[in-house]
Amino acid sequence: MTMFLKVVPLFVVVFIALLATSVHAFQPTAEQIKQFQSLPDDKKKSLLKSQRKSSSPVAGGVSSAVSVESTVKPILPVQKVTSSSDLKPFGYSLFAGKPTTFAPVKSIPAPTDYVLGVGDQLKVFIFGTQNDEYQLIIDRNGQVTVPSIGPVTISGMTFSDAKSLLLKKISSLGVGVKSSITMGKLRSFRIFVLGESRTPGSYLVSGMATITHALYVSGGITDVGSYRNVQLKRRGKVIETLDLYDLLLQGNTENDVRLQPGDAVFIPKLKRQVSIAGEVYNPALYELKHEKTLKDVLALSGGIKPTVYKKKVEISTVVDSAFRKIFMVDITKNKGLQYPIKNGDLIKLAPLRGSNNDLITINGKIHGEGRVKWFAGMSLLDVIPSRSLFVDDADLNNILIKRQEKIAGDYQILKVSWLKAKKNQDSKDNIKLKPRDEVHVLSRMNSSIRRGVIEDILTDLKLTSSYHSPFEFVTGTGMVKFPGQYPLTSGMTIKDLIDLSGGLQLSAMLKQAELYRYETKNGEKREVERIYVDLNKVMSGDLQHNILLQPHDDLMVKQVSDWSDTTRKVSIMGEVAFPGVYTIKPGE
């Protein structure tokens, strides 16, 4: 009992310390501490464990990944040519955001060409033979009233002209009267953002607002809006046109003029657009204005990278609004650079093909996908030394390795368990890797992602197969988590196939499964053999039942009889002794 009393305060101290260091700096009350003390030890430990997880430093801006020292360092990312479906319009991210009232910093001095309007404030300081200070606001008549002078109309004048006029009038008050005039608070007014805006409507902006401010406050331009023909309309007439590419590519703000009350910023639909993907500095969708050639369009994208393969630039062109035709262009020659570009063209620039003979590729559900330098004796744990490197839904028991012993040779698929390798570093699961190996970490939750990786591997196996080196696969169907085709891995057993299929479902009948084995007799006829399998013995590791699989084997896991019928329920309501929901048996 004494020992228990000593342990409780320690738990309380740890509990309070964890709460105090949480992201939200939660402070427990006396009542909460009392409730915690009354909990059993196992509940306290469970609560502390969950609190540690919730107080992860990720929320505080510090990475939660455990620092791991490894002899293997990533040297370059997996090279991927940007897909055209991933592209966004050039300039998309500049204005994208939640609409809000835009208010420039108040301390910015007003430029001399700022046009005054109703609501603007002027600060007038008079000194010399008189000493006064006035804050004058332009009224609805466009006038300010200066003491001893009277109303002066300045609305519509630039700040510079209005300042000169007022200085002249104040100097007439007498000999030795001097003055200083500055801008005070700026007026606010409403403008309209119309057309292909993400959130068209009326917005309240400051007197210093320009066209780009209006675009920002309205959330930017839609995917079909023009970035190169943004119009400023005043009283129904277009008084300015802004090409945002001038701003984005050259920093030219000449046409980004200030707005006036009632102005409308109109964004028309774009007319011509091309897609540029791959080895350029800014892959994106680009709107065409005066650009006509491939050279012109590549200049918009910031130019090509040194890693581009110049001999074959792929251009996909729409022909007769019916289909696409692909052309290969050599941009090492001027003729290729002068290739005419049409609306809707898709331009892909592939990277140079380098040698991967000394690299290992790692992808899937792991932090930091990429390639690492191979060295003699490298094992799986050298590449993935810590569990913290995996993503939460990684399947640690089913890691696939795609191996190609010789360049342009056949592929071999291997399956290993990272957990078994970690438990025993001398086990076969801590496999020795070879140059060009691809390590694939599957998802144990997302069937589409898991299936996508499997399908990519199966496709590679199928494309490299031949009569003398056939495509080898096995199939798991029925009551497994992820049914479908899987590559036949080296030394694969029934249990391996079940594991690769995500394991058995709760409704699986373990007493008897069926394995269908196909064999071609004398090169003339294909026959099928049915083999009955006791999954209870398979899962326990019985070698007699956990047999080695052969190409095209098909395992079918049956469902327990009447599994779905046991969940049938009926509701009995009304004037009965015991109303409620009741489970009924088959036949009732």
Rg of the chain taking only CA atoms, in angstroms: 37
Which pLDDT belongs to residue 48? 56
**Structural domain ending residue among the three candidates 220, 245, 267:** 267
**Structural domain ending residue among the three candidates 125, 157, 184:** 184
Do 290 and 336 share a domain, yes or no?
yes
Residues of the chain where predicted confidence (pLDDT) is lower than 70: 1-85, 96-108, 353-356, 564-567, 586-587
In a domain, 506, yes or no: no
Do 258 and 289 share a domain, yes or no?
no
In a domain, 488, yes or no: no
In a domain, 227, yes or no: yes
**Residue 361: CATH number of its domain:** 3.10.560.10
CA dihedral 404, 410, 415, 418 (to 10 degrees): 10
**Residue 178: CATH number of its domain:** 3.30.1950.10
Which pLDDT belongs to residue 482? 96
Do 174 and 221 share a domain, yes or no?
no
Q: How open is the CA angle 375-379-383, to the nearest 5 degrees?
A: 80
Looking at the structure of the chain, the number of domains it has is 4
Which pLDDT belongs to residue 42? 61
Do 219 and 278 share a domain, yes or no?
no
Which pLDDT belongs to residue 69? 35
- 10 Å CB burial of residue 499 (0-12, 13-18, 19+) is buried
Burial 350-382 (b: 16+ CB within 10 A, else e): beeeeebeebbbbebbbeeebbbebeeebebbb
Dump pLDDT digits (tens) for 236-274: 999 999 999 999 999 998 999 989 889 999 999 999 999
**Structural domain ending residue among the three candidates 401, 418, 440:** 440
Q: Sort strands 143-146 and 150-153 into parallel, antiparallel or unpaired.
A: antiparallel
In a domain, 281, yes or no: yes
Which pLDDT belongs to residue 66? 34
Does the predicted model carry a pTM greater than 0.75? Answer: no
In a domain, 323, yes or no: yes
User: What residues make up the domain containing 281?
Assistant: 273-351
CA dihedral 452, 454, 459, 465 (to 10 degrees): 180
